Amino acid sequence: MPDSVNETYTSETIRLLQNRVSTRKYTDEPVPEAMIEAVLQSAFRAPTSSNIQSYTVIVVRDPETKQKLSVVTGNQKHVADTPVFLAFCVDLTRIEYALMKHQHNMRDNNMEVGLVSSVDAALVGMSAYLTAESLGLRGLMIGAVRNNATATAEILGLPNRVYCLFGMCLGWPAEQPPQKPRMDLGATIHYEKYDAEATLASLDAYDGDLAAHYEEIGKATTPDSWTHDMDKKFHPPLRDKLREELKAQGFDFR
């Protein structure tokens, strides 16, 4: 557990989150179907805006499907090897049915619809992740399903008004990766109003902390590790065709 953990207030949930790492290697032990159902049933109690419940989760175990998803996600080997892959999808089909039942439609749906539905799906995803970890499973989130939202939709058979927001690998852990340091709380917690100076003040130190972590585990890095990585990731712009791909799936993020 990190040295900075507040020991005054703790709980099983706090301990799970404080010890969380992304796990990419899994044993051959099967993950029971009933366990996944229990995880998802619990996760579906996550908050949902106005009770819209605009999400669907696709449970993928088929090796061929996982292999195809692995290619879309940049040939990530753990996507192909994971015992269970969960695809968390934003799903407007039920809302569309409700509107049509009352002589309306979802044509020209705006950014708010897509945004609030994406938040709903994300809340379910994190709830599922935490629930799975409480049972001893481990895994990681896969945002790269959006590398090609159209291809992902085809692989998963997603209809119009549905897109895959992110995926999740789950299995019994075959490794315990070292925990990556997080930014100083001064950069991410502000009181009463936003403090721009505090946001940026600790980034040089975090560059060094992250570089030290990567050096310790033998991963190539630079002295300005975090800012270097962010510059490389977001320039040129990431997934610049995503808006068009999602529009083709029925989401108009205007």
Q: What is the mean pLDDT of each run of 10 residues along the chain (254 residues)?
A: 66 95 97 98 98 98 98 98 98 97 92 96 98 97 98 98 98 96 95 95 96 97 97 95 95 87
Three-state DSSP at 191 gives coil
Neighbour tally for 163: CB within 10 Å = 28
Q: Closest Cα to residue 160, out of 89, 240, 67, 112?
A: 89
Q: What is d(CA 97, CA 99) in angstroms, rounded to the nearest whole number?
A: 5
Question: Which of 80, 84, 76 lies closest to 137 in space, CA to CA?
Answer: 84
Instruction: Give the fold, CATH level 3, of 12-177.
Output: NADH Oxidase (3.40.109)
> Which pLDDT score, from 0 to 100, does residue 4 have?
57
57 within 8 A of 86, measured Cβ to Cβ: yes
Which residue spans of the chain are classified as CATH 3.40.109.10? 12-177
- Would you say 132 and 40 are in contact if contact means Cβ atoms under 8 Å apart? no
What φ, ψ does residue 88 adopt, rounded to 5°?
Answer: -90, 115
The alpha carbon torsion through 75, 125, 210, 232 (nearest 10 deg) reads 50
Can you give the pTM of this predicted structure? 0.94
